[in-house]
Chains A and B, each alone.
Chain A
Amino acid sequence: MNLSKQQTFSRRSFLKTSALASGGMLISFNLFTACKSDVRPPIDISQLNFNDFNAFIKISDEGKVTIFSPNPEIGQGVKTAMPMLIAEELDVLWEDVYVQQGNLDTENYARQVAGGSQSIRSSWEPLRQTGATAKQMLVNAAAAKWGVSASECKASQGVITNAKGEKLGYGDVVKEAALLEVPEDVKLKDPKDFTIIGKDIGNVDLDKIVTGKPLFGLDYKEEGMVYASVLRPPAFGQVLESFDDTDARHVNGVVDVIKFGDKIAVLATSTWAAMKGKKVLKAEWKQDSEAESTAFHNEELLKILNGNKFDTRRKDGHVKKAFAEADKVLERIYESPFLPHNCMEPMNFFAHVTKEKINLVGPIQTPKWTADRVAELLDRDVSEVSLKMTRMGGGFGRRLYGDFALEAAEVSNSAKKPVKVVFSREDDMCAGTYRPATKYKIAASIKDGKLTGYHLKEAAINGNMYGLIPNFFPAAALDNYQVDTANYKSNITTGAWRAPYTNFLASAEQCFFDELAEVMEVDRIQLHLDLLENVKSNPEPNIEYSPERLQGVIKMVVDKSNWGKTEAGVYQGFSVYYCHNTHVAEVADIVMENGNPIVKKVTCAVDCGIVVNPLGAINQIKGGIIDGIGHALYGELVFKDGVPQSNNFNSYQLIRMGQTPQIDVHFVKSDVAPTGLGEPTLPPAGAAVANAIYKATGKRLTKQPYIDNMDLEKVVG
């Protein structure tokens, strides 16, 4: 378990305070690195500089608190949850807290990133320490005013009280507090005393979202801005040979046509005019590298799986020997397709490049990396680049790749105008950085009724499972264990997609275990519990998952789902998984209607440590499960000669309300540091459904999308 890997900070070096010219106190800190000691926070709030600090708390003379939240918000709820951590230790009423998205100018800092479900995990200690430090300074200021010792004073809900019962509001002492020395060694609250953490707190942008206020990148406008619609090569592997923009330039509202690289941007005074202009552009393309099709990928990946050229990523014991000595061997191949991200807000970005500076505004998961790359692309110093983040209409990994921001910068640089690049839905689906198609071959050996060996081979497009995934369950659960990986390099762009690799690996392994238990003639649940017992008795430092916590979620889901005790006609499938530091077990209930399986309910047990914001956490959990089911059942992007065969929602099926089961969420009660929830509930969902469908139909599903694997017209809904 790696629960205590948080950095420790010297508060004196990472936290600065100052009195504001406009009244009140400003506490500035850098969430991820210690501040340089010579940097002072500004006394004019308009001078906030994210080069020096990336997070701020402002306490006004009225005691109101403004928290400038540093991390990108893509719907995962950190804009609400991270300020909750500060407010808890600062000890103020949540009603008195106003949260504002920080405008990032990301010159120096890492981890201002939304991705990997790490925001809450990495900020748990520093944000609470920041709040607690500020509270202590306010208490110290009040104590000095009263002429008493700070230890005789208490603070709660924005009010400081001394032994005589006298009271001062935070606002009454902010001016004095701002001038005090930053204390070291403040005490954090005991989790049992939390008043904000663990409470249901609504999304801080709720009012703006439900009234349609401009929040998203696509909503951003500036004076003189033009819209750009970009024509990109229609097939992967193609380059631009020539183009004719005569017709495009005749479209009302089109102001310019600019070629950059193998792309052509049509600039216009409205989005519609830019899109119309793009439609009448004439371009000739040349195939410059392989025109790949899905059938070709399938062949290549199977060839890899059946060959012997692999990188061995983890090897315990001798799987070969175990297989040679086995009574029985089970071997299966599991297959998954490419997936587009399909964020509801299509990719877009604003750029205004001038001689003096480069202003970028838009939805991005990686502000720093993007600013760096724009500077490099335009051969400018990164100090000239400023980047403002908007709320994002989904990310799912797609907005890690700032290709759209680079396009905007390049076009603005040529056009000498403020430019907003807007992808149409078709552009968004066809110019993706897709979840790569991946196949697994999993084999297990059984001797004397016991599992003796486990060998997993991964064949994927462009890359392979990263970091510690080879150490996930069942690593350390049995003596002979091996993970091998290999990939085929394609010209189709691929990248991270919500829960990279594990989003399908979990389906493959958890379906395999279901079949394995059947072959071994043992109970499905007991098989897992027993294997986890083995891990407990052989503790190993490289194992990130906790066998105790996995057993905990298994037992909880068995109990809460009424596992094995459902009424006739309800079929259940089980799945359990650990990823992104969180432990999850799921049971899907399906019924058969007119010969079609319908997913009615998913029961989920989650161990994510302390639940910071149950309301937001449950939203993430439910969304992850439904997303996982939707993509496992329907998601598939097919390529033919390098061209994606779906380009909009009439040819690509996303799960809709009528196909959605009810999700029943249960948390394992815990007082250990919290872990993230943006991803971990998605991976196990596919297998829970597939295993339930097997119970109902007797058909083992090994290939996603499952709907194509079932000889059924209709699966759910």
Chain B
Amino acid sequence: MPTFNLKINNKKHTVEVDADTPLLWVLRDQIDLVGTKYGCGIGQCGACTVHVDGQAVRSCLLPVSQAESMDITTIEGLSKDGNHPVQQAWKAIDVPQCGYCQSGQIMTASAFLNQNSNPSNSEIRDAMHGNICRCASYNSIEKAVKVAAEKIS
């Protein structure tokens, strides 16, 4: 099996996997970063969202062979102590119900606010539309993104 050099959360990792292995499974099974979740495997639910060079990317669709030399951030590396403004807002609003989709929601929201720190309601709704929450905590997610935006801007 080929080897790949990855930079994840500012740390270098070398993994030996098939070239077509999605980054998601490399993170979860090889590197033990299980905060990135599997939901659908086809880029429809957003549970596996990570940052690649600052952009929100579905890690279930990114083969490890294309992830080399990129700057990858997972939920575990979003902040040092869970104190990113988005994480703080998620805690302040008490967003999670089952909690499974929330790392993906947080990664989508943080990448979005990085590009637009003063979003309108409809921009927030559009930005978060690709992330499914089966518990339907959508009202709280929306509110938490607004709270985080106020902190960031």
B90 at the interface (CB under 8 A from A): yes
Interchain CB contact (< 8 A) of A619 among B44, B137, B142 = B137
Please name all residues of chain A whose beta carbon is closer than 8 Å to the beta carbon of B129 when the two chains form the complex: 656-658
Question: Could you pull out 9 A-B pairs where Cβ atoms are within 8 angstroms?
Answer: A75-B99, A203-B99, A210-B91, A210-B103, A212-B33, A392-B98, A425-B40, A650-B42, A658-B126
The verdict on A270 contacting B41 (CB below 8 Å), with A207-B91, A391-B98 known, is no
Taken residue by residue from 1 to 26, chain B's Cβ proximity to chain A (1 for < 8 Å, 0 otherwise) reads as 10000000000000001100110010
| Contact across chains for B135 and A663 when beta carbons are under 8 A apart | no
Taken residue by residue from 191 to 235, chain A's Cβ proximity to chain B (1 for < 8 Å, 0 otherwise) reads as 000000000101101110111111110110100000100000000
Taken residue by residue from 263 to 275, chain A's Cβ proximity to chain B (1 for < 8 Å, 0 otherwise) reads as 0000000111100
A74-B98, A272-B17, A619-B94 given; 5 more Cβ-contact pairs under 8 Å:
A344-B39, A394-B100, A619-B135, A648-B41, A663-B139
The verdict on A649 contacting B132 (CB below 8 Å), with A216-B100, A619-B140, A658-B125 known, is yes
Cα distance, A630 to B91, chains bound together (Å): 26
Please name all residues of chain B whose beta carbon is closer than 8 Å to the beta carbon of A218 when the two chains form the complex: 34, 37-38
Please name all residues of chain A whose beta carbon is closer than 8 Å to the beta carbon of B137 when the two chains form the complex: 619, 622-623
Please name all residues of chain A whose beta carbon is closer than 8 Å to the beta carbon of B97 when the two chains form the complex: 75-77, 203, 619-620, 623
State the interface size on chain B (CB cutoff 8 A). 58
| Contact across chains for B44 and A649 when beta carbons are under 8 A apart | yes
Please name all residues of chain A whose beta carbon is closer than 8 Å to the beta carbon of B139 when the two chains form the complex: 622, 626, 660, 662-663
Taken residue by residue from 331 to 364, chain A's Cβ proximity to chain B (1 for < 8 Å, 0 otherwise) reads as 0000000000011111000000000000000000
| Contact across chains for B82 and A207 when beta carbons are under 8 A apart | yes
- Name B's interface SS: loop
Cα distance, A277 to B97, chains bound together (Å): 34
Please name all residues of chain B whose beta carbon is closer than 8 Å to the beta carbon of A344 when the two chains form the complex: 37, 39, 45, 47, 98, 100-101, 132-135
The verdict on A211 contacting B87 (CB below 8 Å), with A202-B94, A622-B139, A658-B126 known, is yes
Name the residue of chain B whose CB is nearest to the CB of A627.
B136
B141 at the interface (CB under 8 A from A): yes
Cα distance, A396 to B101, chains bound together (Å): 15
B149 at the interface (CB under 8 A from A): no
| Contact across chains for B42 and A270 when beta carbons are under 8 A apart | no
Interface centre among A209, A210, A394, A655 (most CB of B within 10 A): A210
A393 at the interface (CB under 8 A from B): yes
| Contact across chains for A212 and B103 when beta carbons are under 8 A apart | yes
Name the residue of chain B whose CB is nearest to the CB of A216.
B100
| Contact across chains for B96 and A345 when beta carbons are under 8 A apart | no
Name the residue of chain A whose CB is nearest to the CB of B77.
A212
Please name all residues of chain A whose beta carbon is closer than 8 Å to the beta carbon of B98 when the two chains form the complex: 74-75, 343-345, 391-395
Interchain CB contact (< 8 A) of A657 among B36, B42, B76, B125 = B125
On A, residues with C-beta under 8 Å from B are 74-77, 200, 202-203, 205-207, 209-216, 218-219, 221, 227, 252-253, 270-273, 276, 342-346, 391-396, 424-425, 615-616, 619-620, 622-627, 630, 648-650, 654-658, 660, 662-663
B111 at the interface (CB under 8 A from A): no
Return A408 CB to nearest CB of chain B, in Å.
17
Return B9 CB to nearest CB of chain A, in Å.
11
Q: Report the 8 A-B pairs with minimum CB-CB distance, sorted nearest first.
A: A212-B35, A75-B98, A393-B100, A212-B75, A626-B136, A649-B44, A209-B99, A75-B97
Return B19 CB to nearest CB of chain A, in Å.
10
Interchain CB contact (< 8 A) of B94 among A206, A253, A627, A660 = A206
| Contact across chains for B136 and A660 when beta carbons are under 8 A apart | yes
Taken residue by residue from 116 to 153, chain B's Cβ proximity to chain A (1 for < 8 Å, 0 otherwise) reads as 00000000011011111111111111100000000000
Taken residue by residue from 43 to 65, chain B's Cβ proximity to chain A (1 for < 8 Å, 0 otherwise) reads as 01101000000000000000000
Cα distance, A253 to B21, chains bound together (Å): 12
Cα distance, A74 to B40, chains bound together (Å): 19
| Contact across chains for B132 and A209 when beta carbons are under 8 A apart | no
| Contact across chains for A227 and B37 when beta carbons are under 8 A apart | no
Cα distance, A649 to B91, chains bound together (Å): 28
Interface centre among A203, A205, A342, A656 (most CB of B within 10 A): A656
Complex interface residues of chain B between 74 and 107 (CB less than 8 A to chain A): 74-76, 78, 82, 87, 90-91, 94, 96-103, 106
Cα distance, A626 to B136, chains bound together (Å): 6
Name the residue of chain B whose CB is nearest to the CB of A341.
B134
| Contact across chains for A205 and B1 when beta carbons are under 8 A apart | no
Return A270 CB to nearest CB of chain B, in Å.
4
Please name all residues of chain A whose beta carbon is closer than 8 Å to the beta carbon of B44 when the two chains form the complex: 648-650
Please name all residues of chain B whose beta carbon is closer than 8 Å to the beta carbon of A391 when the two chains form the complex: 98-99
Interchain CB contact (< 8 A) of B142 among A219, A392, A627, A657 = A657
